[in-house]
Structure 1
Amino acid sequence: MDKAYSKNDLMKLAIEEHLKCSEYPRVGALVTKGGKVLSTGYRGEVSGVHAERVALEKLCHAERLGSTIYTTLEPCVKLHHDQSIESCAELIISSGATEVVIGVLDPNGTIYSQGFRKLLENNISVSFFSRKLREAVEEETFEFGDIHRVYSSGKRRVPVVHSGIDIYVQFSESDIRTIPISWKTLQYSHGCVDLSSNSGAVTVAAGTTNLSDITDTAVFRFPSHVARMKKGMIAIVRPSGASFCVLIKLHEIFENDILFQWEVRNCT
């Protein structure tokens, strides 16, 4: 590991580490100094240990001082007050590292931008992978790839923070017909979140419990541009002129995230 690499090459080496992961989210990390790789790590290399910790724990304190850490995913923050193991952000701060280069921010709404901010608040210099490499990381890090596009049918947990999240529902991977939806204004304390799409595209399927209860999407009335959804509610999204519709059920609401189910159907 004596060779000195360019910053771009170090980003690629971190991606090589995260591709070794057999579980999601994939994360790879390097500890470097002067362009030289001191240690590597990936999530799953040591059971239950995050990639940054794997790489850092291969080194003594003197080796960590003044290092630059490359990690494909934003370092985690403490999620519980009684958490016994320090977060990766805290570990990096105490390690003596002076710079962190991040692939992508964690879409988990509880972590999103918090690890980034914590590093900055503790005088750690933070930069990011190049746009092209960020896109590569995004596609390979999470089990479902791009969190902004879904296909056919399924379930997904997504963050709804600040201005919300826009998602494109594509009929199938081979059929590019697409309907946009947006989750916004998550009010965890009130147990609701807003679902919207194109103007007049959203209809609440009142009285239904399961997507299979809906045999004819056209029977439900009072379309609107937004539906305030609570756990268990189902809505139908069909923009004017669309040849298919999307059925959406809200399964769970968390403090910064939601879990929803979707299913596409051709319109008759």
Structure 2
Amino acid sequence: MIKSYSRKDLMKISVEEHLKCTEFPRVGAVIEKDGAILSTGFRGEYDKMHAERVAIEKLTPEELENSTLYTTLEPCVSVKEDQKIESCADLIIRSRIKETVIGVLDPNGTIYTQGYRKLLENNISVAFFNRKLREAVEEETFEFGELHSITGPGKRRIPIVHSGTSLTVQFSENDKRSFQIRWTTLQPIYGFVDLISTNGAVRVASGATEFMEITDPLVFRFPSHFARMKKGMIAIVCPVGATFCLLVKLIEVYKNDIQFQWEMRNLN
């Protein structure tokens, strides 16, 4: 007798698949029909193949028709006009899969919601994992999970989409002192992005190229509520009344993302 799996079971099995990945982002996929598992796949199971493609290519067109695909990450879309490899969204559409159940939307600004929308526009039903499983997937999919806050020193690439990205700056895991910053107005053509905080909180460390060169963060003049940053620039954020400051260096500007490095400093 063939076991019949519930939708929650299938979500969990796709998570088990993505935990098999040895590189980030982790992605797992399951294809089922009438509660029976037809195939599974995970990113990297076959060289340079996404999890959805791995699972799909294990099946015949007849098996795929009217099936349901569970994937822990939003299916990719074509990001270049001359892209040689078919995107997962296009592959799903061509395979006549009737429904796709997604764990989390891809935070990459080039893909974010695009795969989801393309499936809907091609009459494929889309649903999402339940909230608890989405949170579990988020923590395990990306190398650092979704970024809502930063603590201690670090480096990260994040998307800047729509109205921007807000972050809570916390001094350390055990020290809860915090304040807010925001990245917005990304202009990749001109190579800049705006770092925003409260009025008078942001200073540009003119002339500095490394954090170690900054012995006194508050020696820099002309505080403002924002800094228009280009690659290599360092800014210092210190809101009125704060007992620590944030040093930020913009490492790279991409089409929809930035990479930045940060460090916290206590104020004496």
Q: Above 0.5 in TM-score?
A: yes
Name the amino acid aligned to 2:163: S
Matches within 5 A, 1:12-23: 12-23=12-23
- Measured on the aligned residues, the alpha-carbon RMSD in Å equals 1.4
Structure 1 CA distance, aligned partners of 2:191 and 2:129?
37
Name the amino acid aligned to 2:197: S
| 3-state SS in 1 of match to 2:185 | strand
Bigger shift: residues 182-191 or 1-10: 1-10
Bigger shift: residues 187-196 or 98-107: 187-196
What is the match of residue 182 of structure 2? 182
Name the amino acid aligned to 1:84: K
Query: Is residue 243 of structure 2 the alignment partner of residue 243 of structure 1?
Result: yes
Contact kept? 1:33, 1:66, Cα under 8 Å? yes
What is the match of residue 131 of structure 2? 131
Structure 1 CA distance, aligned partners of 2:111 and 2:196?
25
Structure 2 CA distance, aligned partners of 1:87 and 1:80?
10
Structure 2 CA distance, aligned partners of 1:245 and 1:88?
43
Structure 1 CA distance, aligned partners of 2:14 and 2:240?
45
TM-score normalised per structure 1: 0.96
Contact kept? 1:2, 1:37, Cα under 8 Å? no
What is the match of residue 117 of structure 1? 117
Post-superposition CA distance 1:188-214 (Å, at most 9, x none): 122211111233221111121111211
Post-superposition CA distance 1:85-143 (Å, at most 9, x none): 10111110101101111111101111111111111111111111111111111111110
Consecutive unaligned residues of structure 1, counting only runs of 5 or more, are none
Query: Is residue 159 of structure 2 the alignment partner of residue 159 of structure 1?
Result: yes
Identity score, percent: 65
Structure 2 CA distance, aligned partners of 1:147 and 1:15?
20
Query: Is residue 154 of structure 2 the alignment partner of residue 192 of structure 1?
Result: no
What is the match of residue 169 of structure 2? 169
What is the match of residue 36 of structure 2? 36
Name the amino acid aligned to 2:258: I
Bigger shift: residues 117-126 or 198-207: 198-207
Post-superposition CA distance 1:59-95 (Å, at most 9, x none): 1110000011110000011122222110111110101
Bigger shift: residues 187-196 or 70-79: 187-196
Structure 1 CA distance, aligned partners of 2:117 and 2:241?
44
What is the match of residue 48 of structure 1? 48
Consecutive unaligned residues of structure 2, counting only runs of 5 or more, are none
Please report how far the alpha carbon of residue 166 of structure 1 lies from its aligned counterpart in structure 2 after TM superposition: 1.2
| 3-state SS in 1 of match to 2:107 | coil
Structure 2 CA distance, aligned partners of 1:188 and 1:54?
34
